[in-house]
Structures are given as structure tokens and as C-alpha cells.
A and B are shown apart, each in its own frame.
Chain A
Amino acid sequence: MTTLQTVFAKAKADNRAALVGYLPAGFPSKDGAIAAATALVEAGCDVIEIGLPYSDPLMDGPTIQDAVHRSLTNGTRIADVMRTVEGVAATGAATLVMTYWNPIDRYGAERFARDLASAGGVGTITPDLTPEESGTWREASAAAGIDTVFLVAPSSTEERIQAVADCCTGFVYAASLMGVTGARESVNVAAEGLVKRTRAHTDLPVCVGLGVGTGAQAAEVAGYADGVIVGSAFIRRLLDAPDEAAGLASIAELAREMAQGVRSRG
């Protein structure tokens, strides 16, 4: 199993940023999600976030909403998420689960952490779990030996960045903009400042997500962050492809472009 620590140490040694790809479990199909994530790893993604599809994704834009809705319509369950993690972890990529809090809460924090660790997962990203409410989850994660990643945002005060960073292990997720997930024309200029501010509070790697959709944007972000997170741009390609095979080819192409990007720091 590759840990996040290994991934970021290696990227640093190569003088590049790590590339993090996001895909929801069960999309475009249960097996298709594993195939798609595998394609991303083969094309150069270092870390994979597997999204746990949730009925009320209030932080997500239309692209991820669409994919998640299809996944839930396909009947995706938490067992499928764990199977996806297992399949992706087998490729050697560090594999996380990104999820809203309620599914873990309902499943049971200890049970979820244990099952994720058994599946080869290295941690979670929980975008709606605030430091104040995160105690149970951090304890369960520590006991299972998995990392906990939380988000900071451009609106975060210094106190909040400190509080969030104190709860993180693995890395800190810096949301590049005030808004929902989805590729944008350009990466928000606030992202660089947020990364700098976050570094003042922690030695953990800082990864930037939200709005990154091209190799050039990846290169730009790689210029100041330890990792570049890409989700909606991959999903858009899968949604637009005429069939799964074409979708895989298309996301592999984009991932190669991104992998090139994180290696040519702007």
C-alpha cells in the first residue's frame, strides 16, 4: 500500500506536484469506475479519490451531481465503494474516499474506518465535516491507521486555517475558490494566497482543488502547491463519451496532459 506520505515525498524529490484524480464510485458503472481510475493511475495520477455518492451533494456543481445521480440510480452502495477502493488500491495508487459526513455517520465511524483500511484505502476527505464536529471521526481514523483530510477555503480566517490544519493528516485540501466543484476557465488567483497562508500553519502538503481542468492550469497550480486535484474535468469527458471505451481513452489523454502539467511547474 502506498501512503500519502510516500507519494508527496516522492513528488517533492522529483521537484513536481502530485496529481490527484477524483471519480465517484459506481460511475459510469460499478466496474467502469475501477477501470476509469486505473486508467488515471496508468496515465500518471499519483492519488485517487473515490467519491461516495450521496443524495444531497450540496458542495458539488452540475457535472459531479449528474455522475453521482447516475451512480445512485445504478444502485451503488457503500460495499461497492469499498470494492472500488480495493480495485484501485491494487494498482499501487494511494486511494482515498471523498464523502459527505452523513453516510459515515449512519454506517458507523469505527466500522467505516476499519472497512476502508481493510480495502486498502489510506484515508478520507470530508468536505462538510468541520473541526468542531470531527472528533469522533479523527479518533476512529487514527485507530484504523488512515488519514483525515479537511478543507480550507479562501474565506477561512487564520484561526480557522489553524483549526482545520490541526485536524488534518496526510495533506490539507485548499479549495481554490468560493463555489462548488466544476472546471473553470481559469484557476482563481486566490488559490496561491490560500496555499501560502496555509503553509504558515502546517508542514503538511497542501493540495489545490476546484476548477482545475487543463494541463496548463495544472502546471500553474503545481507552481505553488504540493498537489493538484482534478475531478469534474475527467467526469465531463466520461459523460460526453459515446461509450465507456471512448471515455477511458479520453480521460487517459487528459490525465497524461495533467501529469505533464504537474511536471512543468509554471
Chain B
Amino acid sequence: MTHDGSILTAADLAGNGVHGDDPDRHGKFGIFGGRYVPEALIPALDEVASVYEKAKNDAQFLREFDHLLRTYAGRPTTLTEVPRFGEQAGGARIILKREDLTHTGAHKINNVIGQALLTKRLGKKRVIAETGAGQHGVATATAAALLGLECVIYMGAVDCERQALNVARMKLLGATVVPVHNGSRTLKDAINEAFRDWVTNVDTTHYLFGTVAGPHPFPEIVRDFARIIGVEARRQTLELTGRLPDAVCAAVGGGSNAIGIFHAFIEDRDVQLHGYEAAGHGLESGEHALTLTAGSVGVLHGSRTYVLQDDEGQTIDSHSISAGLDYPGVGPEHAWLKDTGRATYHGVTDDQAMAAFSLLARTEGIIPAIESSHALAGALELGRELGPEATILVNLSGRGDKDMGTAMKYFNL
């Protein structure tokens, strides 16, 4: 999307084959990605891939997507400089990309609108989705209401409890919310359950996958629909500061907001890319979601990537105060960016994230999502390291309204 009113182009969606041919036709980012799913789902994945391939080069589709992003989602989102917050970051110039200001309150709406339009093109009437923090579920329920689609959201029972407000929002929007009581009762189990629904109802249903993980073509499609974040932010930063930022920071759970802002900067070799995973109670505690930092290569939810797993390939439960980062896998493109060294990934503990959460509220009057607070905490540290001359762009991926219950408990409010 451009400021002069011209619409999205195919290049805005997919970029120009940056960082090699990513992914290849089997959905591989280097050794990562691919498809590890029951054969029954292969035709559906092929169909999604081919319908998307046509759509992204179709002016009509791009117009519809662009129109909804502008008139419904609230794009382009603004940049906000946060000097009082920046004082605590070694005086670095901190700039926030305000995805929290989008309709429904998080970046998830971008991907959801794109995939809901694809659902129409697929000729399907029903969407299902997994959700952790509830933001992807709320966004999906929203788009389903807008486009008249039946909507079922799978959500871990633990997450239903800690994000009760979002459960109510989804219900109000007309979605059915199914609490998942299996396994760790969080995001990973919600994804398992959504796949079971999909394989059963694939003729009528599109699985509106919420992050850049899962089998090909989801990592590519979700990235492309989230890519607008970085396309806008790059242009806006140039306008604001006259140059590119020194670093871009984002929180990483499955990795959609991070890929969304990183991707447009991948060819800008001087721009550092930093992803922040949830370190929970710390690496040593064993209670964390440090998939890239402390995991190993394996297969989870249909994709080869980094996974928190034991020595026999059983998934280890993750932990984070933020439901949206509480996931033992990560998108395959992040695995590749890590291994190629193009991006660097770090851990931020629950306590560090909550300190940044509170600091942004008090210094700038912005209450961020706890997920995004991991990126803010990372920027505080990075700013002290890079010094006052540095400009750091942070993806403020969502707002913190949904986190008030957690904050009340944590801060004894």
C-alpha cells in the first residue's frame, strides 16, 4: 500500500524473490518447511496454493484486499516515535509500527482478511482457526462475520481461561469457540484439533491458519498477507528519518508479525533483524518457549523447523505469560533466517516483558500486548547496546486490552 493512493501490487505481497527463491515449489526454505501431513490433506493444500498463486497476480483480488485493508482494517497504520521510552533504551531513537491500532487490535487482521477473501475464491462457506491469545480467533471471527462465513475457533482450555475477554468477543461475533482439553491445553493442541476438523470437513472448510508455520503453502501465504507491515514501515521510516533503521525488532511465537515486518528489510543487509522469543521463567527453569534459541530441528504441525522436543521427538510443553508466544514450534522461514544468520533470535523472560509493558504505558500512554512487550524489552536492551545514534523500529503487533486480567494479577492492580 502506498501513501499516494495507488493500490497494492503483487510485489507488495510477495516481494521480488528476495533472499533466494523463497520458498521453492515444495515449500522449502533451505531444509525447512515442506509438508508432513496426512495424504488426505494434500489435495486441499494444493488447491489453496493454486488459488493463492492466481489471486496474488489478479488485479481484482489485489483491489479487494487493498480496499478492505484501508476501509476496514485501518491501514496504513502509523509510526509513533517514543522518546520517553527511548531514554530507557540508552537514548536510542525508538519507533513503533502501530499494528495495535488496526481493527480488532492486532496485526492478525491482515492475514485474516487475505485468507477470508481466498476462502471465497475457494468456494468454501466455513472457516476454522486455532488461536492462542485469541487475537487470531477474534480476527477470523470478525472477517467471517464481514464475509458471511460460518466460523469455528479452536482454543486451548488454558488459553480460554486466561483470555476470557477474547472468547466473549468471538462469541459475540457469531463464532463457535471450542475449548480444547487435550495435551497441554494451549495453542499446539488447538492446532491439532483444527487439523482434525479440517481433514474431516475439507470439502466445505478452509483452515484459516494464523501464523507462518504449518504445511506449505501456509508459511508463504501468511507471510505475504502480513508483509504489508514491513512494506509500510520501511517507507514510513525513510520518510520520517531519511534513512533505514539500524535494527528491526519483533516478538516471535509462530512468527507472523515478525516475518511481516522483517520481510521487506531482508535485502537491506545493513538493517539488523532481531526476533524475541518468550523465555518464560528463564531457560534454566525449563518453562519457556525458546524454540529457536534452545530447540532442535524436527517436524511439528506439518513443517520441518525448530521444535521444543525431547531426545525421542516428543514435543515439550512451552510456557509464557503471553498466550500468543506460548508455542513449541516456529515458522520454517524463521528457522532459515536463523541458520543463514540473516536474523538473530533472543529470549525475553516474563518479568522483562512485563517491565517493558508497564514502562511503555507509563512513559508513552500506550498499553501494548504482552506479546509485543517482548519486542519492546528486546529494544530496551538493544538500544543500550547500539547507543543514542541508533534508530530501532519495533513492531507493536497488538494492544494490551486483552491482557488486563494478566496485568491485574501480575501487578496487583
Given A102-B299, A157-B43, A180-B200, is A59 in contact with B38 using a C-beta cutoff of 8 Å? yes
Which residues on A sit within 8 Å (CB–CB) of B188? 56
Interface residues of B in 294-348 (CB under 8 A from A): 296, 298-302, 307, 309, 311-315
Instruction: Compute the total of residue contacts between A and B using a CB distance below 8 Å.
Output: 111
- The answer, among B192, B199, B200, for a CB contact under 8 Å with A56, is B192
Given A105-B299, A130-B42, A160-B39, is A178 in contact with B314 using a C-beta cutoff of 8 Å? no
Given A56-B188, A156-B43, A160-B43, is A102 in contact with B313 using a C-beta cutoff of 8 Å? yes
Interface residues of B in 17-42 (CB under 8 A from A): 26, 34-42
- The answer, among A54, A59, A132, A157, for a CB contact under 8 Å with B199, is A59
Q: Is B36 a contact partner of A151 (Cβ separation < 8 A)?
A: no
Q: How far is the CB of B277 from chain A (nearest CB, A)?
A: 20
Contact flags B203-222 to A (C-beta < 8 A → 1, else 0):
10000000000000000000
* Most chain A CB inside 10 Å of its own CB: which residue of B200, B302, B307, B313: B313
Residue A246 at the chain B interface, CB threshold 8 Å: no
Which residues on B sit within 8 Å (CB–CB) of A180? 196, 199-200
CA A101 to CA B191, docked complex, whole Å: 17
Q: Is B40 a contact partner of A103 (Cβ separation < 8 A)?
A: no
Q: Is B36 a contact partner of A133 (Cβ separation < 8 A)?
A: yes
Which residues on B sit within 8 Å (CB–CB) of A155? 40-44, 202
- The answer, among B38, B192, B202, B298, for a CB contact under 8 Å with A105, is B298
Which residues on B sit within 8 Å (CB–CB) of A58? 38, 191-192, 195-196, 301
Q: Is B202 a contact partner of A130 (Cβ separation < 8 A)?
A: no
CA A58 to CA B36, docked complex, whole Å: 11
Residue A152 at the chain B interface, CB threshold 8 Å: yes
Residue A77 at the chain B interface, CB threshold 8 Å: yes
Interface residues of A in 56-105 (CB under 8 A from B): 56-59, 61, 65, 69, 72, 77-78, 101-105
Which residues on A sit within 8 Å (CB–CB) of B203? 178
Residue B182 at the chain A interface, CB threshold 8 Å: yes
CA A129 to CA B41, docked complex, whole Å: 12
CA A106 to CA B35, docked complex, whole Å: 17
Interface size on B, as a range, is: 35 or more
CA A35 to CA B267, docked complex, whole Å: 60
Which residues on B sit within 8 Å (CB–CB) of A160? 39, 42-43
Which residues on B sit within 8 Å (CB–CB) of A105? 298-299, 313
- The answer, among A55, A59, A156, for a CB contact under 8 Å with B314, is A55
- The answer, among B35, B199, B299, for a CB contact under 8 Å with A179, is B199
Q: Which residue of B lies closest to A129 (CB)?
A: B36
Contact flags A135-157 to B (C-beta < 8 A → 1, else 0):
00000000000000011111111
Which residues on A sit within 8 Å (CB–CB) of B200? 178-180
CA A28 to CA B298, docked complex, whole Å: 28
Contact flags A115-142 to B (C-beta < 8 A → 1, else 0):
0000000000001111011000000000
Q: Is B301 a contact partner of A130 (Cβ separation < 8 A)?
A: no
Residue B183 at the chain A interface, CB threshold 8 Å: yes
Q: Which residue of A lies closest to B296 (CB)?
A: A106
Which residues on A sit within 8 Å (CB–CB) of B202? 155, 178
Q: Is A178 a contact partner of B312 (Cβ separation < 8 A)?
A: no
- Per DSSP, chain B at the interface is mixed
Given A58-B195, A155-B202, is A107 in contact with B312 using a C-beta cutoff of 8 Å? yes
Given A132-B34, A178-B203, is A55 in contact with B39 using a C-beta cutoff of 8 Å? no
CA A103 to CA B307, docked complex, whole Å: 12
Q: Is B300 a contact partner of A102 (Cβ separation < 8 A)?
A: yes
- The answer, among A61, A78, A101, A153, for a CB contact under 8 Å with B39, is A153
Given A130-B35, A160-B42, is A57 in contact with B311 using a C-beta cutoff of 8 Å? no
Q: Is B312 a contact partner of A154 (Cβ separation < 8 A)?
A: no
Q: How far is the CB of B368 from chain A (nearest CB, A)?
A: 31
Residue A251 at the chain B interface, CB threshold 8 Å: no
Which residues on A sit within 8 Å (CB–CB) of B302? 128
Q: How far is the CB of B207 from chain A (nearest CB, A)?
A: 12
CA A9 to CA B195, docked complex, whole Å: 37
Which residues on B sit within 8 Å (CB–CB) of A152? 39
Q: Is B311 a contact partner of A106 (Cβ separation < 8 A)?
A: yes
Q: Which residue of B lies closest to A131 (CB)?
A: B39
* Most chain A CB inside 10 Å of its own CB: which residue of B42, B189, B201, B302: B42
Given A65-B182, A128-B302, A180-B196, is A103 in contact with B36 using a C-beta cutoff of 8 Å? no
Which residues on A sit within 8 Å (CB–CB) of B43? 155-157, 160
Which residues on A sit within 8 Å (CB–CB) of B192? 56-58
Residue A248 at the chain B interface, CB threshold 8 Å: no
Residue A175 at the chain B interface, CB threshold 8 Å: yes
Given A156-B39, A164-B39, is A133 in contact with B313 using a C-beta cutoff of 8 Å? no
Interface residues of A in 209-246 (CB under 8 A from B): none
Q: Is B183 a contact partner of A153 (Cβ separation < 8 A)?
A: no
Q: Which residue of A lies closest to B26 (CB)?
A: A132
Q: Interface residues, chain A, CB within 8 Å of chain B?
A: 54-59, 61, 65, 69, 72, 77-78, 101-107, 127-130, 132-133, 150-157, 160, 164, 175, 178-180
- Given A107-B312, A156-B43, 16 more pairs with CB closer than 8 A: A54-B313, A55-B314, A56-B315, A58-B191, A58-B195, A69-B183, A102-B300, A103-B314, A130-B36, A130-B37, A133-B36, A151-B39, A153-B38, A160-B43, A178-B200, A178-B203
Q: 15 pairs across A/B with beta carbons < 8 Å?
A: A55-B314, A56-B189, A56-B315, A102-B313, A105-B298, A106-B311, A132-B26, A132-B35, A151-B40, A153-B40, A155-B42, A155-B202, A160-B39, A160-B42, A179-B200
